[in-house]
Amino acid sequence: VINLFGATFFMTYGILLEAYPVAFLNGLIVCIDLYYLYQMWRQKDFFTFMEVKPTSDYLRTFVEFYRDDISSIIPNYTYHVEDSLICFFILRNMVPAGLFIAKVEGDQAHVKLDYVIPNYRDFKVARFIFEDNSMFFIQRGILRFVSEGGSDFHRKYLERMGFVRSRGMYVHEIGNRILQDGGF
């Protein structure tokens, strides 16, 4: 997009100065930029969940690899293996783009880690989890997510995804959303 604006500017500049080779070359760049932006816009990503056991070596390695970035977003997070954890990777075009770990207690999932790697932080992964796949959690008896928050960046993310601050925690009701959308 930035290149498109720059090429458009220099194309206009070339026309105004009657420097037609400059205008022509930048006009070609504008056409190429528009073509690639159109291709990017119409590309549809494929998302899926890949559930793993809390004892997974890949899970442990992933958390260790991104430890510094995770701690900058969720400072209090430490990886602990517990039986009541649900753990899954969110795959975007079959590439691990995010990791979700929650402790299930009754109909609540206490979110321990909701992490997306830096290259995929465009809210598409979050929408896939919290908006598009509510039934994934309802089928497991989960009706609400509870999160402690984290850094300011993480708290703003939670609010954007529909979490509401209540008694020092952030809560996201799953069932209400589906009833509003006519899912039942």
- Look up the pTM and report it: 0.71
Nearest partner of 53 among 81, 79, 91, judged by Cα: 81
Q: Does residue 180 surpass a pLDDT of 90?
A: no
What tokens were used for 113?
């880690």
Is residue 171 predicted with pLDDT exceeding 50? yes
Both tokens of residue 89? Answer: 């990777």
For the cut 50, the answer to whether the pLDDT of residue 24 exceeds it is yes
The mean per-residue pLDDT over the stretch 140-153 comes to 88
- The confidence score (pLDDT) of residue 176 equals 52
The pLDDT of residue 139 is 87
SS (H, E, C) the chain: CHHHHHHHHHHHHHHHCCCHHHHHHHHHHHHHHHHHHHHHHHCCCCEEEEEECCCCHHHHHHHHHCHHHHHHHCCCCCCCCCCCEEEEEEEECCEEEEEEEEEEECCEEEEEEEEECHHHCCCHHHHHHHHHCHHHHHCCCCCEEEECCCCHHHHHHHHHCCCEEECCEEEEEHHHHHHHHCCC
182 falls in which pLDDT band (50, 70, 90)?
very low
**Residues 60 and 24: beta-carbon distance below 8 Å:** no
**What's the pLDDT band for 175 if we cut at 50, 70, 90?**
low
Q: What is the pLDDT of residue 183?
A: 41
Residue 159: HSE in the Cβ half-sphere, 13 Å Cα cutoff: 9
